[in-house]
Amino acid sequence: MAVMNDAAVFLDKDGTLIDDVPYNVDPDRVRLAPGVRSGLIRLHERGFRLIVVSNQGGIARGYFPEQALILVEDRLRDMLRRFGVPLAGFYYCPHDPNGRIRRYATSCTCRKPRPGLFQRAARLGRLDLRRSWCVGDILDDIEAGHAAGCRSVLVDNGNETRWELGENRVPDYIARDMDEAAGFIIDASDPGRPIRPQSFARP
């Protein structure tokens, strides 16, 4: 087993790691998305540190209090722990410029597609962002990962509907689910195994 130590896979939460239930903070409604169990086991076995990075604008909009995320985080950690996968970090942005809770209604550097969550995690965890990856289900995740210096994989599960391409918004790979994303990341992180670039055919 290769030990990466300073390399992470940054995981979007809603729609990538778990099924997308808008603004959900009920732990009983948390369900792992397809391919997550097998994909995360493979990444963990290769030594990647697994870190959640999530926009939680529902806090700024007043849909739920910030403290409610604690139960969701605890539930997620427990689900992954059952098959031997620890989370190395859980980072979220509570801001939304259009929010109605004044303390959170602000522009920030942590709301994806900005890279602040990644940079904070890297600083606290002494991670090498150049050796790290981001996996998300929309192009804002891809842009945030690239802006932080990571390579990025898009899980194309139908959640990205606008396909607005631009600087940093073209994924390094498009996968059907987390397991396929994990396989690509593992192969592409092996210096002895050349990887052909994937053509990007989306509009």
Q: Per the residue annotation, which of 6, 12, 28, 172 is the catalytic one?
A: 12
Catalytic annotation present for 6: no
Which two structure tokens, joined as six digits, stand for 100? 């109605």
Catalytic annotation present for 12: yes
| Active-site amino acid positions | 12, 14
